[in-house]
Structures are given as C-alpha cells and as structure tokens.
Amino acid sequence: MISEKMEAALNKQIELEAYASQYYLAMASWCDKEGMEGASQFLHFQSVEEKEHMMKIFHYLSEVDGFAITPAIPQPPLEFDSVQEVFKQVYEHEKKVTQSINELVAICYKENDYNTLNFLQWYVEEQREEENQARTILDRIKLIGDGGQSLYYIDKEMKKFVAAAQAAEAAGEDGNA
C-alpha cells in the first residue's frame, strides 16, 4: 500500500511527464515547419518516450493500490526563436524533471517506502542520461553555429541521435521495452 503523500507526489510526476510529452510534440511540429526533419524526428521520439515514462508511473500506482489521475495538460508553447532555443528549453525541462524525481526519492526515505524507492531508481538513471543527451546536443549546436548551413549539420546530428536511440531500443538497452 502506498501513502497518500507518495500517491499525490507520483500523480504530480505523471502530470510532469505528460506535459513533457506534449511539449516535445509541440517542438517537433515547430521543427517540421522550419524544415528540420532530424530535429523533428528526435523530438517525436522523445515525446513518445516521455509518455512511456508517464505510463510506467500510472501502472505502478495501480500495482501498489494507489489511484493514478489522468492529468489535464496545459497548452505548451507553439513558437520558438531557433533550434538552439528549442534544445535549451529541452535541457531546462529535463533538469526540472530530474529535480522532481529527486524530490520523490526524498519522500520515499521520509515515508520508508522502499518499494517506490526501488521503482524510482530507473528514473534516476534515465534522468542522468536525458540531461546528458540534452547537454550534448546543445554543445554540438554551439560548436556547429546557427547560420543557414549550420542548420543542415545540426539536423544531420539529430538524425544520428534518433538512429542511436532506435538501435539501443531494438537491442533492449533502453529499459522501456
């Protein structure tokens, strides 16, 4: 059985993960509009992954006799200044999610909820990977620059990230399978 405090905190995490999925989908649409096919593919992939993160928590709450709440999602932004701005926002959002996961872990210790602590360890590792990936993308964008030709190379780099993520998923390395 799960405490009311932990159940409420996990439901807030469901909302955060659902918003991330919609946020990245909005970013993908903007990238499509700007002709950034690789960036769009990457963000579509990330959107699906965030929804999977949400669903894992949703199912976990059912397993521990909790009640998962389907969240209302605010409209994410639809316009962005540049692809660099998109990925700055991705990085900032991932840091926000990491902070939220860390707060959940802290609640686990306060509540002596070792089942949920064990469940959340996957998220702790996942967030380290997500932040690192966003930071790496930002570093590459800074290295490449933001001129017209640079956008072409940035987009090619994004396709590489998608291909690597799909290969890892196919190999079962992701943990989502």
> What residue segments make up the domains of the chain, in order of their start?
4-170
pLDDT category of residue 173 using cuts at 50, 70 and 90? low
State phi, psi for 97 to the nearest 5 degrees.
-65, -40
The predicted model gives 12-19 an average pLDDT of 97
Between CA 65 and CA 68 the distance in angstroms is: 10
What pLDDT, on the 0 to 100 scale, is given for residue 176?
Answer: 43
Between CA 160 and CA 177 the distance in angstroms is: 21
What pLDDT, on the 0 to 100 scale, is given for residue 144?
Answer: 82
The predicted model gives 51-79 an average pLDDT of 96
The predicted model gives 125-133 an average pLDDT of 94
Name the CATH topology of 4-170.
Ferritin (1.20.1260)
Q: Higher pLDDT residue, 165 or 107?
A: 107
Structure-token match 């200044």, residue found: 81
pLDDT at 148 over 50: yes
Share of the chain above pLDDT 70, in %: 95
CB-based contact 18:51 (threshold 8 Å)? yes
Between CA 23 and CA 16 the distance in angstroms is: 10
pLDDT at 32 over 50: yes
Structure-token match 């993160």, residue found: 53
The token duo for 117 is 């602590």
**For all residues of the chain together, what is the average pLDDT?**
91
- 29-67 b/e with 16+ CB inside 10 Å = b? ebbeebebebbbbbbbbbbebbbebbbbbbebbeebebe
Least trusted range by pLDDT, from 12-16, 29-33, 82-86, 112-116: 82-86
The predicted model gives 154-174 an average pLDDT of 78
Is residue 177 packed enough to be buried (19+ CB in 10 Å), middle (13-18) or exposed (0-12)? exposed
What pLDDT, on the 0 to 100 scale, is given for residue 177?
Answer: 36
Sequential DSSP letters for 49-103: HHHHHHHHHHHHHHHTT----PPP-PPPP---S-HHHHHHHHHHHHHHHHHHHHH
Share of the chain above pLDDT 90, in %: 74
